Amino acid sequence: MNLILLGPPGAGKGTQAVLLSGALKIPHISTGDIFRSNIKQQTELGKKVSDILASGGLVPDDLTCEIVKDRLQQDDCRNGFIMDGFPRTLPQAEMFEEMLKARNQKIDTVINITVDDDVIVKRMSGRRMCSCGKVYHITGNPPKQEGICDACGSALYIRDDDREETVLRRLKTYHDQTSPLIDFYSKRGLIIEVDGDKDIESTFRDIMAALGRQPDGV
């Protein structure tokens, strides 16, 4: 199954992607995670994108699409993928369609997770990340041991771009450049709307139900 998770920053895309990846046994691909891990490892790509992420703007479309194309070539994508944070602009969505067409593939479903801006600002200020891809919240979804990932034992970190002024800039970027994708995918009949302002498990159940799947163990 080829899925896209769409929604504003902080909607819960990463959180839901980890759960969906476990349930559907397809990889979670987050362009944001790929950029952050390159910045951490100070690769050439990392050096190119570090200031862009810090400012709350978007990495150029060509560069972003190149990275996704490479990632899709890995073996674990043969049964599908969950895209989290990509595409984020109309040109990216168009290039992604071409990329999939060349592979004889298509998008099955786009899950649009909706959350109001005021809720988002609150969520981001408490977000804690792990380099393994798991996401926590200091009050809403804390790890068992403060500052440590339940899944892999690594130390959690706070994202540079989760400061309030950068969050506001990212929200503006979302409204200007990413929200037109809702219309783009609606026209193709691919959109499922899910209320992201419920608790994590309820949102996950809603998504699974919309996909016609039975979540087990949640």
Binding site for ligand ADP (CB under 6 A): 7, 9-15, 30-32, 35, 52-53, 56-59, 64, 85-88, 92, 123, 126-127, 135-137, 140-141, 161, 170, 196, 198-200, 203
Q: Tokens standing for 95?
A: 């290039």
Residue 26 or 207 with smaller CB distance to ligand ADP? 207
Q: Quick one: which of 40, 116, 152, 188 contacts Zn ion (CB under 5 A)?
A: 152
Find the catalytic residue in 71, 128, 134, 170. Answer: 170
Stretch that binds Zn ion, among 5-13, 32-40, 144-152, 195-203 (CB under 5 A): 144-152
Find the catalytic residue in 71, 123, 127, 205. Answer: 127
Separation of alpha carbons 57 and 172, rounded Å: 9
Active site residue 188: no
Separation of alpha carbons 55 and 166, rounded Å: 7
Find the catalytic residue in 13, 71, 123, 205. Answer: 13
Separation of alpha carbons 75 and 17, rounded Å: 19
Q: Which amino acid is at 45?
A: L
What is the signed CA dihedral for 69, 74, 79, 82, rounded to 10 degrees?
-50
Active site residue 169: no
β-sheet bridge partners, residue 59? none
Contact 15, 123 (CB under 8 A): no
Find the catalytic residue in 48, 159, 169, 213. Answer: 159
Which residues are within 8 A (CB) of 112 and not within 5 positions of it... i.e. 6 or more apart?
6, 7, 182, 185, 191, 192, 193, 194
Among ligand ADP, Zn ion, none, partner that 27 touches (CB below 5 to 8 angstroms by kind): none
Smallest gap from Cβ 180 to ligand ADP, in A, equals 14
Binding flag, residue 132, Zn ion (CB under 5 A)? yes
Q: Any known ligand binding at 14? A: yes
Residue 134 or 170 with smaller CB distance to Zn ion? 134
Separation of alpha carbons 76 and 94, rounded Å: 24
Q: Quick one: which of 151, 155, 209, 218 contacts Zn ion (CB under 5 A)?
A: 151
Separation of alpha carbons 216 and 145, rounded Å: 26
Q: Catalytic amino acids? A: 13, 88, 127, 159, 170
**Residues lying near Zn ion in the complex (CB under 5 A):** 130, 132, 134, 149, 151-152, 154
